[in-house]
Every structure is written in structure tokens, then in C-alpha cells.
Amino acid sequence: MKEQEKIIQAIQAESFAGWLFYNLHHRDPVADRVCGISSEIPNTRPWVYLLRSSQDPVKIVHTIEAEILDHLPGRKVIYSGRESLAACLKEFAPGSGPWAADFSLSFPGISFIDHGTVLWLSDLGYKIVSSEKLIQQGLSTLTDEEIESHEEAGRILYQTVHTVWKRICSCFSGKKTPVYEGEVLGWILEHFEKNDMHTHPPLIVGAGIHSTMPHYYPEGKGSRLAANDVLQIDIWGKKKAEGAIYADISWVCFLGKKVPGEVAAAFAVIRDARDIAVDFIGSRFSAGESVTGADVDQRVEEFIRGAGYAQYLRHRTGHSIDTECHGYGVNIDSREYPDLRQLGPGACFSIEPGLYLSDFGVRTEIDVYIRGNKPVISGGKPQNEVLCFDT
């Protein structure tokens, strides 16, 4: 289990009786990750792990999969059917205070325990509350070693963008060799493979009108890159190592020598919004004030609205990053699922404002983590101007 002592401290800070993990058919990846259970292990019967605030943990397992939690500390209790499982659970519920479980009213992405099971647990005497803050502590607060893993992935992503851009430039010079979105994607994956990087497709390579689609990805060859098109590249990956942490960046390119004024203006707005987000976090910490993901997103949207581009916003400012690209920690979001959790040491997240006009889109993305009560930009130097053939 990842940093059990830290998780128990978080449970105590919330005045919870404990964190109740319940899993069947590996439906809850949070439970599997916190408890260190491989998705390859059979999970055909429910198991329950009661991580208690002031007592030893309890492992409740079915008789035919009785070893599934043997690697974890705590008292082991074996059941054989629904009634015996209920009896085991009742033994630890009465008068013990609220129990956190993996659901949230605010974040569908961390809601895994089913409604029927929550109702059943309530009937057995459990007061079930959301584990969203505990998930942040248990899965998305990075250690120094994990931060270095993230930094290494980020450095490779920056190298990938610059390597691929050079190849694109060479195709447009001299004999002007035709190049397609799918080829660019292939070059990215080739560079990933050379650097022992793992990713989950589809990565984003969108030229021209496709840059207006935030999650466009090329199928097959995709479209041919045309002169004077905007090209959006958004890539993410992590090292092929157990517990590796993702990095995720996005760059804007122009397939010509002079960036049009409207493209440069839109990019300047998102670049400044990105930098304002980082400065805002830093100023809050310097003043000894807390800051939530929603606070940061609202500050970014306020700036973009003041610049006259609010109608071109389509998404939140950023997402949590951990061993998943879209992690379980604080999202920079006041728009989609407002995140009122506080940013703190070890938090890692993207800052990626984007604008999507009728014929082109632009999005700049950096990753940030909190260390020593300061925001740190990872991986490399952020993009400050649109890449073009003269840069």
C-alpha cells in the first residue's frame, strides 16, 4: 500500500472512521492502486479492506479468493456468502463514524462504488461519505522520486516536439515532400519508443480545421499538412517503469514563415493566461493563502474574458497528473466539475488554456507541480511564440 501512514493521517484529519475499499471484477481502479492489487489477479468475488483511523486494518475476503489481500497488513476475515459478508461488515460499523468510499458528487472520474452497494452498506450501519480528498492524498501527492519521474518524462516530451518539428520543416523545404498528420504521429511514437516511453493513444496531431477540435486525432494517414495551416500537437507519456508518472504538453505550430495576426493574437492570450495561472498560484502561496483548482481556473477565465475571447473557450484549464495522464488529484476546473480541493505540496497538474475559433484552434500546455509551497514548471521551457518556419 502506498504510504499507508500518510493516508491514515489524512483519514484522521477528516475525522473519518476509515476508508472502506470495496472491489469486484476490478471495477474500482483506485482501490486496486491504493491497495497494490494487479488487474491480472482474479477478482470474481467482492473483497473489502477497512483502513481504520485508530485501529488495525481489516481484510474481508471470500473463501475462494482468500489470498487476494494477503500482502496487506491487518486482521483477515473470511466469508463464504452474502449473509456472512454482511455479518463481517456489521461487526465493524456501529458507532464508528463516517466511512469514506470511492464515489463523489462532484467528480464522476472517481466514482466507482455502485449505488446499490452504498445503500446496502448504509443498511448495515455505515455512514458513507466521499473519499475524494483521501484519493488526492493516496494517489496524487507525488514524492520526490515521483517528481523526478515526471520531470524525466517531461524532458523527453519537449525533445519529441522539437525533433518532430525539425522533420516537418525539412519536408516543407527543398522538394516539399508531402507529409500527413498520421506520419507526424508515427514520428512521435518512434521517438517515444527510442526513449522507452509508454503512452496510451490516441495522441493529438491536428492540422488546419482539425486544430479546432480539442480531441482530434488522425486515423490512418489523416489529412495532408498544407502550407499556412495551424498545426496543434498534444502529446503525453511516461517512462516504461513501475510507478512512473506522466507528463503532458501541447504546442502550436504554423506551417509557413509568418504567423498571421489573428493566430498570433489568440496564442498570446492563451500564453499569458497560462503564465497568469502559475503566477496566481505562486502569489497565493507566498501570501500564506490556500488555492483550489477552481480558483485557478476562474482566474484564467477572467483574464480570457477580459481579452475578449471568452466565447472561444470550450474546456477547463487543466487536469491532475499522476501515474495516469488524467490523474485523481486536483483538477484546474471551475467549469466542468468545479474542484474545490486545495492544491498542496506534491500536487501535479497541467495548465492548458485553449481557444477554438471557426477556422483554427490554439492550445498551450505545460505541467506544474508544487514543491516547497512554490509552483514549478516541469520538463522544459514553455512555448512563448507560435512555431513557424523562421523559428
Task: Give the pLDDT confidence score for residue 4 in this predicted structure.
Answer: 83
- The pLDDT, as a whole number, for residue 391 is 66
Give the model confidence (pLDDT) of 49-59 as tens digits: 999 999 999 99
**Strand arrangement, sheet containing 348-351:** 348-351, 366-371, 374-377
> Which DSSP helix (H) or strand (E) runs through 83?
helix 82-92
Question: 213 in helix, strand or coil?
Answer: coil
Please report which helix (H) or strand (E) contains residue 252, including its range.
Answer: strand 247-254
∠184-187-188 over CA atoms, to 5°?
A: 90
Using DSSP's 3-state secondary structure scheme, residue 169 falls into helix
The residues spanned by each domain of the chain are 4-139, 144-377
Supply 260's cell numbers.
498571421
27 bridge partner residues: none
Q: How far is CA 60 from CA 78, 123, 134, 357, in A?
A: 6, 18, 21, 54
**Fold observed for domain 4-139:** Creatine Amidinohydrolase; Chain A, domain 1 (3.40.350)
- Give the pLDDT confidence of 288-306 residue by residue, as tens digits: 999 999 999 999 999 999 9
**Which residues touch 43 (CB under 8 Å, ≥6 apart)?**
23, 24, 25, 26, 37, 65, 68
- pLDDT below 70 — which residues of the chain? 1-2, 94, 391
The three cell numbers locating residue 1: 500500500
What CATH topology corresponds to 144-377?
Answer: Creatine Amidinohydrolase (3.90.230)
Type of residue found at 28? D
Please tell me the distance from the alpha carbon of residue 83 to that of residue 119, in angstroms, as a whole number. 16
Q: State the first-to-last Cα distance of the chain, in angstroms, to the nearest integer.
A: 48
Question: Is the distance from CB of 31 to CB of 21 less than 8 angstroms?
Answer: yes
Side by side, which strands form the sheet with 127-130? 75-79, 58-62, 47-52, 18-23, 98-101, 127-130
User: DSSP of 99-140, one letter per residue?
Assistant: EEES--SS-GGG--S-HHHHHHHHHTT-EEEE-HHHHHHHHS
pLDDT of residue 2: 60
Domains 4-139 and 144-377 share a fold: no
Cell of 218: 488522425
CA distance linking residue 65 with residue 47, whole number of Å: 9
Q: What is the pLDDT of residue 44?
A: 98
Q: How far apart are CA 57 and CA 62, in angstroms?
A: 17
220 bridge partner residues: none
Tell me the pTM. Answer: 0.94
Q: Do 34 and 101 form a contact (C-beta atoms < 8 A)? A: no
- Between vectors from CA 272 to CA 271 and to CA 274, what angle results, nearest 5°? 65
Q: Is 207 exposed, middle or buried (0-12, 13-18, 19+ CB in 10 A)?
A: buried
CA 316 to chain centre: 13
